[in-house]
Chain A
Amino acid sequence: MEYAFVLEKLILVTVIFLITLGIAAYSTLAERKIAGFIQGRVGPHRAGPWGMFQPLADGGKMFFKEEIIPAESNRFLFIAGPSLALLTASIGSAVIPWGRALTIGGRTIELQVTDINVGLLYIFGVVSLGVYGIMIGGWASNNKYSLMGAIRAASQNISYEIAMGLSIIALLMVTGTLSLKGIAAQQDGFWADGWFTWNVFKQPLSFLIFIVCAFAECNRTPFDLPESENELVAGYHTEYSGFKLGAFLFAEYINMFVSSAVMSTLYFGGYNFPFMHDLGLSENVVAILGVLALFAKIFFFIFFFMWIRWTIPRFRYDQLMNLGWKTLIPLAIANIVITGIWMTVKDLI
């Protein structure tokens, strides 16, 4: 283990973590700005130009608010809940390839923290852990609304994980690898062999199921049943205040960022962009432009999350379960069968 390698990875992890936190903080501002835009309002605009300092003001407010731990609650688990939510949200970004390898002074630097060969399953595992923070926090609050929110979160995540896993299987049949680096590298450029290289054009149904499930796993509207305010006060975080509430809200935005990155990598070509090899640029410039392209895609998906939130009303609970079990899972299985038949007929195996 050479020191340069450790240093390189350490810098990469730090940078990614800071970017994640920065994007999560400014997502709160973007959410309010987009809500304002869609509803014909201005949105926050007092703190700094265009409200640029609003996230800092909100963060400061969260820090200095009084922390209240309910007397009848379970003290340790009450604190563990939001911590776990923040932790599981942040570790997902470890396997995402942020760009092509950079070459500086004869040394190749991979813009990916680690390329484990089960990267896709790792993401899936982290997503499935995400519900523990909500469940533990909701249960430890010792409040019936919190408990209802926690139980809703658990059943919703379990239901949509199945459809998500099945939609990924169809994608895997096309890519033939579980490594996210491999999947991103396969979608090189934009057009090859008479068809688009990006997986969304090869597996559109799989992408549709995946994005619906991603909304459900992030507890975003129209699937924000765990915290539906007109039934459950504030759902699983009813009893939370101050920075612990901030941690829960922050975790939601980090989840949004990571799932946007995963969707961009799996289906929208990751760091690849059209004509990347035809511009006559050096490899390093292409790599940096690729990182920018990936972030442009991520920002689009974050915008899409917010766009949906202020457009589509919340589902009823039975509608949520019907959509998951009776629509998405059969569709995903049909997609697998169709993909299998198509690959056999075209002799692609």
Chain B
Amino acid sequence: MNLFYLIAFLSVFFSLLVIFSKNPVYSVLYLIITFFTFTIHYVLLNAQFLAIVNFIVYMGAIMVLFLFVLMLLNLNKDSEPLKSNIVKIAGVVAGMCLLVTLAGSVKALNVSDPLVLKNPDIGLVQNLGKVLFKDFLLPFEVSSILLLAAMVGAVLLAKKDPKKV
């Protein structure tokens, strides 16, 4: 339990640093550390597969691409676009709305009932695979079609001349 509080503190600390650091490359590096703490959370929950997939996909692939783009842009204070006050106010209002929604949904949760899993090994690869391919086959396949559609869309957008497809 102490380990959980330490990791939770680190998660919150590094995610705050993501927001407060001025340099976007630093933000991405802090975000990588935040994702790493999430991986530790998954390991603590005995969800090994989710942990390692989070590790590979978020830390290993998506963040590399983020870093790649930011390094290419090489943003600094001089080239940062000036934001008008209206945009800032809109951002604050949107953030507050999100906060209220999140707080409301957290409050609606039944926190008095501690979560005890019927099967603590559900996060292991074998069990997770069986659940995904037996009980939740349709949602699983639908989400794969969604990802495929996103991929096709990205390829179409990246094509130089869409008429020649």
Contact = CB atoms under 8 A, between A and B. Distances in A.
Interface of A: 77, 116-118, 121-122, 124-125, 127-129, 131-132, 135-136, 139, 147, 150-151, 154-155, 157-158, 161, 178
Interface of B: 25, 29, 32, 48-49, 51-53, 55-56, 59-61, 64-65, 67-68, 71-72, 74, 124-126
A283 to B, nearest CB: 29
Main SS of the interface on chain B? helix
Contacts, number: 63
A288 B54 CA distance: 37
Given A125-B55, A139-B25, A154-B68, A178 B125 contact: yes
Contacts of A122: 52
A113 B124 CA distance: 20
19 contacts: A117-B124, A117-B126, A121-B56, A124-B56, A127-B60, A128-B59, A129-B60, A132-B67, A139-B25, A139-B71, A147-B74, A151-B72, A154-B64, A155-B68, A157-B64, A158-B64, A158-B68, A161-B60, A161-B61
Nearest 3 CB-CB pairings of A with B: A128-B60, A125-B55, A121-B52
B59 A129 contact: yes
A121 B71 CA distance: 28
Contacts of B67: 132, 135, 139, 154
A117 B48 contact: yes
- Residue among B65, B74, B125 facing the most chain A CB atoms (10 A cut-off): B125
A121 B54 CA distance: 11
A90 B125 CA distance: 26
Nearest to A139: B71
B53 A147 contact: no
Contacts of A161: 60-61
Nearest to B25: A139
B59 A151 contact: no
Contacts of A118: 48-49, 51-52, 125
Contacts of B32: 132
Given A147-B71, A157-B64, A116 B25 contact: no
Contacts of B124: 117
